[in-house]
Each structure stands twice: as C-alpha cells, then as structure tokens.
Amino acid sequence: MTETARAFWVAAPGRGEIRAVELPEPGPGDVLVRTRYSGVSRGTEELVFRGGVPESQYRAMRAPFQEGEFPGPVKYGYLNVGTVEHGPPHLLGRDVFALHPHQTRFVVPAGAVTPLPDGVPPARAVLAGTVETAVNALWDAAPLLGDRVAVVGGGMVGCCAARLLARFPGVQVQLVDTDPDRAAVAGRLGAEFAPPERARGRCDLVLHASASEEGLALCLRLLAAEGEVVELSWYGDRRVALPLGEAFHSRRLAIRASQVGTVSPARATRRTFADRMALALDLLTDPAFDALITGESAFDELPAVMPQLADGSLPALCHRIAYP
C-alpha cells in the first residue's frame, strides 16, 4: 500500500498550503526519514514565497528535492532534521540533516543525509545549511590573523559568519545592523555590535549579508585601502546601485561574490560538499548558535506563518518548525 506524507507548497506567490504527497518505496540505497524539525531560511524562502526569483535564475535556485517550478506551485526548503526509520544499518535510528523541503516524512538516497555528531541537538541542527554557507564564505574570504572585519547584515548568514569569525585568533569582528535588537544576539555570538552610523572603518575585510544597496554602499565605506567586500546577499529580482566613483578606484577596493552552490575554489580540489556539510555540523556543537533560533511553530501552522515571516510582521532569524 502506498504511504503518504504531508508537505508545504507555495501554491502561488504569497500563498502556501499543505498537500498530501505519495512516498516512493525505499530502494536498497535509500533512507526513509521522519522529520523532527525544519527551519525557514527567511531571506531565500521569502523571495521564493513572494515569487521574486528571476526567471534567469530558475535553474540556479533549484533546491535539492524541490518539486514544481518557480514561481509556483513549488515545494521548496532545505533545512531539515529527522530520524531515519528505514535504511542501511549504520543510519537506522540516527538523527540526520538533509537539504529537503518542509515535509513530514521523505525518501532520499542515503548519501543525501548527514548524521548529527554527538553534542549537536536536533533542534539546533536545523542551522546546518546556514552554517555551511558561512563556512564557504570564509573559505572565499580567507581572513588573516589579526584582521579587522565587519559583517554588515545581522540575518542568519551574517550572524553565522560573525560567530565563526569571533573564533579566529586576534580577529576583531563587528556585526553591523539597523535593528538595535541584534546587539543582544551579537553579544551571545561573541561579536561587537554597531548601528551603521557607528560602524568601525578601516576594515581589511567586510562580509555583506543585508541584501540592500545601502548595506553594500556602507561596506565600501568601511574598507581600508585595497580591502575586499565578500558579497553573500541574494537580491533576487532587484537591481542594486553602487557608488563606484568616489574613492572606489583610488583605494583599489574589491567586491567578490560568494555562493554556496559550489565549493569555494580555495578548497574545491580538497573538499567535497559532504566534507563541507560535516564540518558545518561539527561546528554546531557550539551552543552560541542557539541565539539564532528566534521562534518556533507547528508544521500545520506554516501556511499562516510563512506570510508573516515574508512581510516581517513576525520578526525572525531562523524560525524553527516542529513536527508531530
């Protein structure tokens, strides 16, 4: 008899619903996972929910195990933690992380899940995909001992990057955001906090994660001569204007992109996607990351919760979804 599960779908831009889905019979190399928690990656999922993915990026923006097509109907998401109910003996009964949409149970190849290390609670492990993004960004950015670094934008990716930078010896890291409530989060992450008007300049390196042109312009102002901005934001269908006159050329500033869809060229010959994910999960033994979980809702509430997350009426860094 065919088994079914329930999944969250963006039925149309701005409207979500829960649908029944048929589960395939697990093959010899597959696992059947019962979801315990998923996380809403607010920046990217807000773009998907409102239909803001540019048509030119439909292919690049596909999530693993996505069903449907942009702008909708589409089943999208990639922060999922669950328990293996069927699969190889070494995985059976283990809690695992998977890049899978919001769904109560699912079948995927065994190689698509990563067991949680000892010391990483499932409720925190939903951050693994975001920590992985921050790891890739720091491989791209290559901070040096004693660097002065700013992270502009205190969302999930910015906060994860700030926490990892705070663990570098001698690095001075400042988290910059317009929301004064981020000061408490920055403190828990071991980083200084500043509003934009008080941000420290003469930085060797600036990571940008605010997804705003004002934030990116600020990054350029904060750089020391020959400094570099590493751009982590995803702007979707929005155009960005930049002040590339002024001192941009005379100070020999640089802007480079970082994107988690490929392993950083700095490590691509020596690290796989699986290596990068395993590292992200190992880093989540650090309880400081709990500061990024700012709310929780039940799975059945997702159709009502997603519009609130998308329009900002429900403020959140990572909003965790709990499953029955």
Q: What is the CATH number of the domain that holds 153?
A: 3.40.50.720
Please report, in tens digits, the pLDDT of each residue of the chain (324 residues total). Answer: 569 999 999 999 999 999 999 999 999 999 999 999 999 987 789 889 999 898 988 998 899 999 999 999 999 999 999 999 999 999 999 999 999 999 999 999 999 999 999 999 999 999 999 999 999 999 999 999 999 999 999 999 999 999 999 999 999 999 999 999 999 999 999 999 999 999 999 999 999 999 999 999 999 999 999 999 999 998 877 788 888 988 899 999 999 999 888 999 999 999 999 999 999 999 999 999 999 999 999 999 999 999 999 998 998 899 999 999
Q: What is the pLDDT of residue 1?
A: 52
Contact 199, 172 (CB under 8 A): no
Q: Are residues 95 and 152 in the same domain?
A: no
Q: Which two tokens stand for residue 322?
A: 């709990």
Q: What is the pLDDT of residue 239?
A: 85
First to last CA, the chain: 23
User: How many CB atoms sit inside 10 A of residue 214's CB?
Assistant: 13
Contact 4, 99 (CB under 8 A): no
Using CA atoms, how far apart are residues 323 and 38, in angstroms rounded to an integer?
Answer: 8
Backbone angles phi, psi at 162, to 5 degrees: -65, -40
Q: Tell me whether residue 76 is in a domain.
A: yes
User: How many CB atoms sit inside 10 A of residue 270's CB?
Assistant: 8
Q: Are residues 30 and 17 in the same domain?
A: yes
Q: Say how many CA atoms lie within 13 Å of 24 toward its Cβ.
A: 9
User: Which residues in 152-189 are b (16+ Cβ under 10 Å) and which e?
Assistant: bbbbbbbbbbbbbbbebeebbbbbbbeeeebbebbeeb
Q: Tell me whether residue 80 is in a domain.
A: yes
Q: Tell me whether residue 272 is in a domain.
A: no
Using CA atoms, how far apart are residues 214 and 259, in angstroms rounded to an integer?
Answer: 21
Using CA atoms, how far apart are residues 265 and 18, in angstroms rounded to an integer?
Answer: 39
State the CATH number of the domain containing residue 46: 3.90.180.10
Using CA atoms, how far apart are residues 286 and 201, in angstroms rounded to an integer?
Answer: 29
Q: Tell me whether residue 277 is in a domain.
A: no
Number of domains forming the structure of the chain: 2
Domain span including residue 210: 130-257
Q: Tell me whether residue 279 is in a domain.
A: no
Q: Tell me whether residue 64 is in a domain.
A: yes
Q: Tell me whether residue 135 is in a domain.
A: yes
Q: Are residues 115 and 140 in the same domain?
A: no
Q: What is the pLDDT of residue 108?
A: 98
Q: Are residues 10 and 75 in the same domain?
A: yes
Q: Are residues 218 and 192 in the same domain?
A: yes
Q: Are residues 157 and 200 in the same domain?
A: yes
State which H helix or E strand residue 114 sits in.
strand 113-115
Contact 321, 297 (CB under 8 A): yes
Q: What is the pLDDT of residue 2?
A: 67
Q: Which two tokens stand for residue 302?
A: 């997702």
Q: Tell me whether residue 265 is in a domain.
A: no
Smallest Cα–Cα separation from 40: which of 239, 285, 307, 235?
A: 307
Q: Among residues 214, 241, 257, which one ends one of the domains? A: 257
User: How many CB atoms sit inside 10 A of residue 247's CB?
Assistant: 13
Q: What is the DSSP letter of 321?
A: E
